[in-house]
Amino acid sequence: MQNRMMITGAGSGLGREIALRWAREGWQLALSDVSEPGLQETLKLVREAGGDGFTQRCDVRDYSQLTAFAQACEVKLGGIDVIVNNAGVASGGFFSELSLEDWDWQIAINLMGVVKGCKAFLPLLEQSKGKIINIASMAALMQGPAMSNYNVAKAGVVALSESLLVELAQQEVGVHVVCPSFFQTNLLDSFRGPTPAMKAQVGKLLESSPISAADIADYIYQQVAAGEFMILPHEQGRMAWAIKQKNPQLIYNEMTTMADKMRAKARPTNG
């Protein structure tokens, strides 16, 4: 392990905080995002934190951009030890309101972006006996209402990670999947949904989180070092997952109540 890490979606939010957490350990970071200004800011902060690296604009929907990014890692860093498939977008809306375009957009970035990231970098990880860290969401495990396309994409990331965990064990490539709940982030900048009310509700959940992206990055760092496969940074998330494993119906009932409340809130009131 030569301490070389690749991160997608590194221009802001959790991707940036993961870069900074590993930079403090002196790592070399290959940073990608669709936002050039965000990447430059992250690289500046990485250097201030004690790391170094390079940036390359990359849209995870385009496999050729990811393979070019992998080649750049080979040329500039001599390979890669850890990849973090973090790039993602938010969306919401009840199933009846979501268009098929909403589904295509969500799956293309949040699921297939991770598949393509793993595929493009696997040859380098096999050489270094490195690690894959896929960023999913508690939505993958809890399937909250009014976000079915997001839930499905993130559940796919968990299923992919479970598949790779067992398939890549022989090649000594480690796999981790992270399922954060809502946290303070700029995810709403990319939010796509049929109603403004839905965006406002998600915004409130993000703001009310007791835990920041930096806290989550630190938790990921510790759990990866401990060899934990499924990383659940939120205490409430860990509790909810434990309940669902024992008594799924309890969670389904809770989510049904939540869906009713969301529908009631989204309805226009007659003044």
Helices (H), ranges, the chain: 13-23, 36-49, 63-77, 100-106, 112-128, 139-142, 148-167, 196-207, 213-225, 235-246, 248-266
Q: What is the largest CA-CA distance in the chain?
A: 66
Beta-bridge partners for 174: 131
3-state secondary structure of 4: strand
3-state secondary structure of 131: strand
**Two structure tokens written together for 136:** 């999913």
What residues pair up with 91 in beta bridges, in sequence order?
Answer: 192
CA quadruple 195, 61, 164, 77: dihedral, nearest 10: -130
Q: What are phi and psi of 220, to 5 degrees?
A: -60, -45
Could you give the residue numbers annotated as active site? 150
d(CA 54, CA 128): 20
Q: How far apart are CA 114 and CA 118, in angstroms?
A: 6
Asked whether 121 and 208 are in contact (CB, 8 A), the reply is no
